[in-house]
Amino acid sequence: MSSAPEQAAVADEPLAPPAAVRPGSPTPLGARYRTGPDGVAGTNFALWAGGAEAVEICLFDDDGHETRHPLTELTHEIWHGFLPGVRPGQRYGYRVHGRWDPWAGARWNPAKLLLDPYARAVDGDFDGGPGAAGPRPALPAELYGHVRDWPQQEIADTVRDDRDSAPYVPKGVVVGDDTCDGPGDDEWRDDRRPKTPWPDSVLYELHVRGFTMRHPGIPGHLRGTYAGLAHPAALEHLTRLGVTAVELLPVHQFAHEDHLVRRGLRNYWGYNSIGYFAPHAAYAATGTRGQQVGEFKRMVRALHDAGIEVILDVVYNHTAEAGELGPTLSLRGIDNRGYYRLQDDARRYADYTGCGNTLHVVQPHVLRLITDSLRYWVTEMGVDGFRFDLAAALARSMHDVDMLSPFLAVIAQDPVLRRVKLIAEPWDVGSGGYQVGAFPPLWTEWNDRYRDTVRDFWRGAQPDVRDLGYRLSGSSDLYAWGGRRPYASVNFITAHDGFTLRDLVTYEHKRNADNGEGNRDGTHDNRAWNCGAEGESDDPGINALRRRQLRNLLTTLLLSTGVPMLVAGDEMGRTQHGNNNAYCQDNPISWLDWSLLDDPRWRGLAELTARLIGLRRAHPVLRRRAFFSGRPRERGGLRDLAWFSAEGTEMAERDWYAPGATLGMYLSGNDISQRDAQGSRIVDDSFLAVLHAAEHPRSVTLPGPPWAQTYELLVDTGDEGPPPADTRYKAGTTLTVPGRSVLLFRAESG
């Protein structure tokens, strides 16, 4: 064992007599306030720490004074004990003893106070300390289990740091089941949730802090918080748009990376989790001694009352402890070998995430941690589903991605989790990690093939329209297997990472200098077109074209079969000024600028978005539950899906391969294969969408009978506003379609 000889050992703290700790129970894991068998109230502490030699539960008073209690009971590698008199609001952490042998993957260090993986609330942050008056120039060196600044960095992770980390780390908080000032369990019954069916869903990805920080209708003290998102002013925008679910960027407790703190930045997105049960404390307006739990529950209830589901973006693939040179905050110090995937050289971590470590989901206790967390957020916090960051990393068995992996198998049979919305980001950064279209039934997926195809079509980079046809109609080439449905495809054009929609038509090259990494971070493959000038322009023609392209992209997204996902602010022209990796920009670069809605041009874009969502909601033919067959439902009927050339004739095989940028898509409302709840046939209007991505206007002929007798124009993205009411054309009419535009018609037979 190596240790730094010049460092002081941890100061002795008062040690309570062992008799003060009663045996308690190994279940449930975490800190649970309850009444003991003799009627005395207290808290049961239980921690899985396989391989550890001893565990101490450490309690902290308001002055930071620490009292340690040894947990002497050990059941199936779970250390546990019951402490009478410990009540909700009590701050605590663990010290775990064991051998220091990094070459074998053993990194126990009792000098480091560890956050309980099951802590339901967290108080404090990882960059504070005695006398700290704000962010430090670096994370404290005491946070590291090894000597971070050891002169020989190649072996630094093998030299143990014996300094006490307790003054510099946040503490877990005991949370009482009945003291959260939030909804009771009955609030989360199925009959009280929105329960929007997948085909009817419209997702809206937002950041709790960024969505509310600049909203003029939200009181200042609530901005950036769960309470701010629950405020009527925030809800009003969501309901006016018509979205059915918010997909919240990570709200698990997370930490800020050292390299960001050194540059005066913070982790904004939150993909650096360290507490899988705790709502991120910095987003709480009411307090961090358990109050954040009740505040989060009230936010969920407010969204549910508005008919909006809550989906969490969750990061179970890695933690904030990074690689072997990262800090020791929780799992590494509890049982490094048990929680993380290690290489053959056990000093090193298997990194399928690009973040330094990967959770070892094959291990039963790790799988239990994840599924316990998921069930907690559903049953006790009220959420309606999850989007899994780098889900392919969770689906790996020993090395390869395996769709029969323990994680996917457990989810499929879990009576709680199999009933909620499950969205995979179907890739990771490891070999074989790209798995779009491969996840099993129950799962939907972020479809980046959709994103790339639609971007390429509207920037004029597609040689033909073959791929576009698949993407518009639900990506059957990816998902029509194993009982999957069109709603397995979550269609998106932008997401939190990458350009905003406005930046996609304003910049071709990223501008990430503010991130402090020499513009090396963020993708180079933006598939963007700046409409003739790089960056913001004073040219009225360029700006008009850019707004038209935004209308084209949003219209395409909301007319496509599958589940559309919007990113907060795209409907009002939000810009990050070309930054395509704003993960560390907790400032107006990332926050929504609500003043955009005062500009008629951007307000008109939001109105178009709401109109398209309303059209989608009103017409089942636009949100199909089954893939198109391309055949009539009955003799004499029309095909449920037909494709047309600009000449008004059905596409022949050769037309799909011919160079072109115009495509007509006909959706028959008389030939929907599904039935309603009473078993009756569903009949809807029929629609014709004409997508024309070429620069110059094009003559387009409207298909004649039997497809329609007349066509009513509903959307024309060539104009800033909606078309005049009752604008109709006879079948067979030849129209001039403006360059780069979408026309949507209702097809009328009478």
Could you list the active site residues? Answer: 389, 425
* Residue 545: φ, ψ to 5°: -65, -40
In DSSP notation, 176-211 reads -TT-S-S--GGGGSGGGS----GGG--EEEE-HHHH
Distance in angstroms (rounded) separating the CA atoms of residues 68 and 66: 7
Whether residue 183 has a cis bond before it, omega within 30° of 0: no
Distance in angstroms (rounded) separating the CA atoms of residues 15 and 115: 20
Whether residue 706 has a cis bond before it, omega within 30° of 0: yes
Place of tokens 């209308």: 551
Backbone φ/ψ region at 650: left (φ over 0), alpha (ψ -120 to 50), beta: beta
Alpha-helical (H) ranges within 522-599 are 540-559
- Output the furthest CA–CA distance in the chain (Å, rounded): 92
Distance in angstroms (rounded) separating the CA atoms of residues 347 and 101: 9
| CB-based contact 168:143 (threshold 8 Å) | yes
- Give CA separation, 97 vs 6, 56, 319, 578, in Å: 21, 8, 21, 49
- Give CA separation, 284 vs 91, 226, 230, 372, 600, in Å: 17, 6, 12, 23, 34
Residues 360-379 as b or e (16 or more Cβ within 10 Å = b):
bbebebbbebbbbbbebbbe
State both tokens at 130: 């005695």
Q: Which of 314, 172, 303, 324 is nearest to 248 (CA)?
A: 314
Q: Which of 106, 73, 92, 83 is nearest to 36 (CA)?
A: 83
Q: Which of 12, 357, 288, 311 is nearest to 128 (CA)?
A: 288
Q: Which helix (H) or strand (E) holds 428?
A: none
Give the SS3 label for residue 549: helix
Rg of the chain over all Cα atoms, to the nearest angstrom: 28
Packed helices 364-379 and 331-339: angle between N→C axes, nearest 10 degrees: 120
Q: Give the DSSP letter of residue 160.
A: B
Contacts of 258 (CB under 8 A, 6+ apart): 138, 139, 327
Give the SS3 label for residue 594: helix
